[in-house]
Amino acid sequence: MARITLKDYSQAKVNEVGEIIEVPEKTYVVGIVTARKLRRALEISSHVEEMTNLEANDEMIDYIVEVFENQFTADDVLDGVASDELDEVIQNVMDQITGAEKKKKQLKEKALKAQG
């Protein structure tokens, strides 16, 4: 399973001094990440260093849209993620797809058991 949350900044509520107080968001979920999608993630990851940052981000965003079966568009990602959070969002989704998130959780559980 993989999930991503995108925000709708065009609908943000701001207070009287212009600070954002609420931003509507929507979470998208894909139940199964197939081995083919994992293979594509590994393929992209192996070529990222050869790309410019712009090319790498575009490639990863297009891939994420594909993984989530076009429930949203690349423009939705670009408009629904704050600029300072884009790398983190991409990495988080890629970790979910490759199983890195699950492995991190398992290692943490092992460490806690060893301590207790």
pLDDT of residue 30: 96
pLDDT of residue 103: 67
Q: How far apart are CA 86 and CA 102, in angstroms?
A: 21
Classified as helix, coil or strand, 75 is helix
pLDDT of residue 22: 95
pLDDT of residue 110: 73
pTM confidence score: 0.81
Q: What is the pLDDT of residues 27-80, one digit of tens each?
A: 999 999 999 999 999 999 999 999 999 999 999 999 999 999 999 999 999 999
**By the 8 A CB rule, do 89 and 4 touch?**
yes
